[in-house]
Structure 1
Amino acid sequence: MKTNTKGKERLLLILAMLLALLATACSNNAGEAGSTNAPSGNDPSGNSQNADDPYADLPKKISISTFDRGQVSSDEGTYEDNRWVKWIREQSGIDVSIVPVPRNQAQDTLNVLIASNQAPDLLWEFDRSYIGKLVTQGVIQPIGDYIEKYSTSYKRYLEENPDLKAHLTFNGEMYAVASKRPVTSIANHAMWIRQDWLDEVGMEKPTTVEELIKVAQAFKEHYPDSTPIVGANAPDIYAALHGSMSFLWYLEDGKMKYGPTLDRYKDVIGLEKQLYELGLVDKEYFTDSNNQRSNQLWTTGQAGILLGQWGTGAVDILMRDLISNVPDAKPVPLEAVASKHGKFGTYQEASPFIYVAFNKDMKNPKAAVEYLDWIIDKGWFTLMNGEEGVHYEKLGEIAKRIDADKFTKEVLYANEYAVLRQENIKPEDLPLQAADDALSQRIAALNAESLQTVLKNPFKRDIPYQPNFEEINEIRSTFDTFIRETRATAVTQGDKYTGDWAIGEIRKEWERLGGAEAEAIAQKWYEENKASFN
């Protein structure tokens, strides 16, 4: 009996030990599987609520590209390090690094960064076709799931603006975010003319391409040392006036055709060549990549016609410098002139503003979404207007600038960081927004007039957004370069090279690259999507 009792005691002891070990193992396994006992960096109690979120415990750190327009003064810092970058980090709670790319070489610079695996987490462009190229190349990733899972403010904004979704979708998936443009941003390119020069030569504002040439010739005769026509957007304005942009598809008799292959495009190059050979434009404008010569000619009073933007930002600076240097100058908006093909407006943007895409190699998409939510919710307003009481004062819903020079120096460059915005500015708001000094009010009034002038004539856009297919994107990479080189040859190399010669070369290259197949793909895309076009 005693022996049996001792055996039972040993058995019970062993069972108790096994039960204790089993309980410990279950506890440990539960922690690994994400039980309430698992540690978490986001929960001070040590309870995990994010085990199914691979980004929950990563540092909130991202990098983003921005356009370098040369607007950061030395005492403000650089595009990478200044008061606003510090403010962004403090207010958003995200460790943001800025990667500037030169505005006029943005895509080329981004391509180099991508090829060398140094591209930022967030890449952005105004050009939807460029985003399409990045989709085709596998550089960026779909983001619909990230927006659905992590976003609050932008998801709500997209629900309120559902028409944006089609522009952000490639191959059936959402690859970018964007906000809608206010009318002040839909209007883009514009024409300006010196009214005082018109008065000097006794002529009216031109209304046709032919009259524009005659006015420019009169300017040259009256001011022999002048360069009558300047402007960073001149080639695109020539194209818009003929309804044939070099990077857009058009619907010709129900058929999808690429802009630079149209008959109209030879007249674009013909006009550019004629102005060059008559000495009405700067002979060096093909190499003026940063527009320094063009800007200098305008601001020192040596040019009579500016083919640039409608106003605000860089144009404000050009007008301010011109009037300061030449007090008698009277720059005024010039309405788009008619070509033999009709009257088309200068270039206007489609509804989406900046397309922001996610690098496929980014480490923390959740932090990127949180950053974009902060921008669209409240960050954009300060980045556009500065600090209340320092740079602006509230006038109803308008942010009225206090000091124009202070705003230009300390705030204007920060606009580049506001990649998502909820602006709603009307032409009549511009003088209310401007500082009270006479020059600022004069420029604001000119801007308002210019905006209304630009919007008089709709820009020729046959389809709301461009098709995106691998075959088309591969062609564009080579074709865009060929067009630029052919244009330069036709314009600068004498009588042998005409608009007819240029369009012939362009069409041959288009065919060589597979243009016929691209047109067939574009046509199929159009037939499948046209019912959804507004």
Structure 2
Amino acid sequence: MTRKKLAAGPIVRNARKSAYAALALAFALSAAGCSGGETPGTGSADGETGAAGDKRGSITVSLYDRGTVPASEGTMDSNRWTKWVNENGPADVKYVTVPRFESLQKFNVLFASRQAPDLIFEFDTAYQGQLYNQKQLMPLDDLIAKNSTEYKAMLEKYPAIQKAATMEDGKMYLLGRPMELTPQHYLLIRKDWLDKLGLDVPKTPDEFLAVAEAFTQKDPDGDGQANTEGTGLSFVAGIILNHMYGTGFTLFGEDQIPWVLENDKVVHDWERIRSAISFQQKLYDAGVVDKDFVTDKNGEKQKQMWISGKLGIYGSNGADVGSYEALKQNVPDAEVIAMPLPETEFGSYSPLLSSPVQMTGMVNASAKDPVSVMKMIDFMVSDKYTNTIQNGIEGEHYTKTDDGRAKPIDPEKNKTELEYNRDMGMLTPLIGKNYGLKNKVSPTDAEKDFIKIYEQAEAAYMDPARPMVGITQRAYLPLLPQNLATINTNANKTMLDMAMQTIVGGGGQAAVDKFISDSQAVWDKAGGAQIDEFYATWYAENKDDAILMSDIYEMGKQMKEQQ
């Protein structure tokens, strides 16, 4: 099944002008922020009733585990913040942890054993669609209408969230939040290495390769050893280098988006994929990347090379101040800048930006106490929860400035006691005066440096003249019907394996050409033409109402103007 014109995002039957008028009004209203009163009914465990006299419920909630909880803080499912939730929230919560980079496997096991949590948080939009198609999700319209205050108010202020949550049957199944449009992926380069070697920031693929070779071969760190690498190729770096060629076919992940607009029609662009894989093969053959990048699926090895000062070009996920700070501790003289993606024969593109709306949550269709789940959702978008999860306890972790921003009392203490809880805020609105690095009251020296990097990324990546890749962001494409989703997943898994083998196997352009012809055969045999036709038909029928890439920039501009 597919989402009704709305796809996986706010694509509706209304005319675009009407939609934007509603959004503009909503963003204007949002300047005051979400209504934030504390949630009633916050008694202790064992069935104690709350202020409204309702019996206190008990629910399960999923929570990513990134392995970052300090031993002194406990574990991801039992620490000061999970305890705070159970002491202050409207229901007793048992957290079900899932490994961040193996979350889908864990969720599949939990669903198969009928142990999936009541409230599920997962960033992967394709997996959200899969659960919807499998009827694993609960419709939320009546639940919200009858039992919500905070979340209902947020939907009224940001109607795009409701549109993004609505599926083909006209009901809401997803939970989301408003976000500021910001750079999500950064291509960072060591400017001090460029200066030492007399090189400029690369502007073409050939220049990129030449710089990567110099970074690898000419001892840019001056230690007299051949121990540096020119560029990363795993995880985010691999995604970015494909985006450089204008293709959403990426090496890491099965959710591929290789469709582009040509002459106002959706086409499956194999030529962009050909050029992207050819370039990455050249990088690998030149010895400027980690030979074992294929197994570095979450980019951790690449990250360690970066922070140890041994990597020249790095694909960063988000404003990763922690990695930058670690780099500066190891190499105090390191100078880092965000670089525009080199221009290819297909044009100039930018890495991934955040979406103005992000869908992150779902309610299990088997949840036994959906009212308590809804109370918890309300609590999670309240000011009390938002301020606490983002900033800690007032008077202990922060004080308030005159303009209402949070000023850390002891930043080092907060690193230990606060930073690991970020995935508890997957419904927290990412907007306003307390959100974002640029709004920090007392930024550290590393943060001040990264604010400059962030501003460079804004200038380089947030220009519609250098757009993100594709027709629109993944969140705004229609969900594939289950049979097509299965075809897509299986075919892409085979093609990704073939792409990796082509990159590491050598053979030059002939090997790349063979990869493309073999991939086309795999796609055709699997029934991929049905998927190509599905997206082409969707665009032809919905292009006047759909939110396309240019519209996302406009939405982001409107959001920013209201902050």
Task: Identify the TM-score tier after normalising by the shorter chain.
Answer: 0.7 to 0.9
Say if 2:262 is the partner of 1:252.
yes
Aligned to 1:336: 341
Counterpart-to-counterpart distance in 2, 1:335 and 1:412: 30
Aligned to 1:14: none
Aligned to 1:37: none
Q: Normalized against structure 1, the TM-score is what?
A: 0.83
Cα–Cα, structure 1 residues 244 and 43, in superposed 2: closer, same or farther, change >3 Å?
closer
Aligned to 1:399: 406
Q: Which moved more, 1:494-503 or 1:160-169?
A: 494-503
Say if 2:415 is the partner of 1:408.
yes
Say if 2:304 is the partner of 1:296.
yes
Aligned to 1:140: 137
2:235 match: secondary structure? coil
Cα–Cα, structure 1 residues 474 and 269, in superposed 2: closer, same or farther, change >3 Å?
same
Aligned to 2:370: 365
Query: Do 1:102 and 1:109's aligned partners in 2 also have CA atoms closer than 8 Å?
Result: yes
Query: Do 1:403 and 1:435's aligned partners in 2 also have CA atoms closer than 8 Å?
Result: no
Aligned to 2:238: 235
One-letter amino acid of the structure 1 residue matched with residue 539 of structure 2: Y
2:507 aligns with one of 478, 495, 498: 495
1:353 match: secondary structure? strand
Aligned to 1:439: 446
5 Å-filtered alignment, 1:276-315, equals 276-311=284-319, 315=320
Query: Do 2:90 and 2:375's aligned partners in 1 also have CA atoms closer than 8 Å?
Result: no
Say if 2:533 is the partner of 1:523.
no
Query: Do 1:129 and 1:466's aligned partners in 2 also have CA atoms closer than 8 Å?
Result: no
One-letter amino acid of the structure 2 residue matched with residue 466 of structure 1: L
Aligned to 2:396: 390
1:167-212 deviation digits (Å, cap 9, x = unpaired): 212223211010111234xx21111111110111101111222211
Counterpart-to-counterpart distance in 2, 1:278 and 1:82: 47
Query: Do 1:151 and 1:370's aligned partners in 2 also have CA atoms closer than 8 Å?
Result: yes
Counterpart-to-counterpart distance in 2, 1:408 and 1:137: 40
Counterpart-to-counterpart distance in 1, 2:396 and 2:467: 38
1:265 aligns with one of 260, 269, 273: 273
Cα–Cα, structure 1 residues 505 and 381, in superposed 2: closer, same or farther, change >3 Å?
farther
One-letter amino acid of the structure 2 residue matched with residue 410 of structure 1: E
Counterpart-to-counterpart distance in 2, 1:202 and 1:428: 39
Aligned to 2:11: none
5 Å-filtered alignment, 1:473-512, equals 473-495=485-507, 498-512=511-525
One-letter amino acid of the structure 2 residue matched with residue 361 of structure 1: S
Cα–Cα, structure 1 residues 339 and 289, in superposed 2: closer, same or farther, change >3 Å?
same
1:273-325 deviation digits (Å, cap 9, x = unpaired): 111111111111111234332121111111111112241xxx21111111001
Q: Which moved more, 1:422-431 or 1:374-383?
A: 422-431
Aligned to 1:175: 173
Moved segments of 4+, more than 6 Å = 41-44, 426-429
Q: Normalized against structure 2, the TM-score is what?
A: 0.79
1:203 aligns with one of 199, 203, 219: 199
Query: Do 1:79 and 1:100's aligned partners in 2 also have CA atoms closer than 8 Å?
Result: yes
Counterpart-to-counterpart distance in 1, 2:406 and 2:436: 10
In the TM superposition, residue 427 of structure 1 has moved relative to its aligned partner by 12
Aligned to 1:455: 462
Q: Which moved more, 1:383-392 or 1:149-158?
A: 383-392
> Root-mean-square deviation (CA), in Å?
2.6
Percent sequence identity is 29
2:159 match: secondary structure? coil
- Structure 1 unpaired stretches of 5+: 1-40, 51-55
- Structure 2 unpaired stretches of 5+: 1-46, 220-225, 250-255, 548-563
2:106 match: secondary structure? helix
One-letter amino acid of the structure 2 residue matched with residue 495 of structure 1: G
Counterpart-to-counterpart distance in 2, 1:257 and 1:362: 41
Cα–Cα, structure 1 residues 349 and 431, in superposed 2: closer, same or farther, change >3 Å?
closer
Number of equivalent positions: 477
Which has the greater radius of gyration? 1
One-letter amino acid of the structure 2 residue matched with residue 141 of structure 1: M
One-letter amino acid of the structure 2 residue matched with residue 243 of structure 1: G
In the TM superposition, residue 428 of structure 1 has moved relative to its aligned partner by 11
In the TM superposition, residue 436 of structure 1 has moved relative to its aligned partner by 4.8
Aligned to 1:4: none
Q: Which one scores higher on RCO, CA 8 angstroms, separation ≥ 6?
A: 2
In the TM superposition, residue 102 of structure 1 has moved relative to its aligned partner by 2.1
One-letter amino acid of the structure 2 residue matched with residue 104 of structure 1: F
Q: Which moved more, 1:430-439 or 1:512-521?
A: 430-439
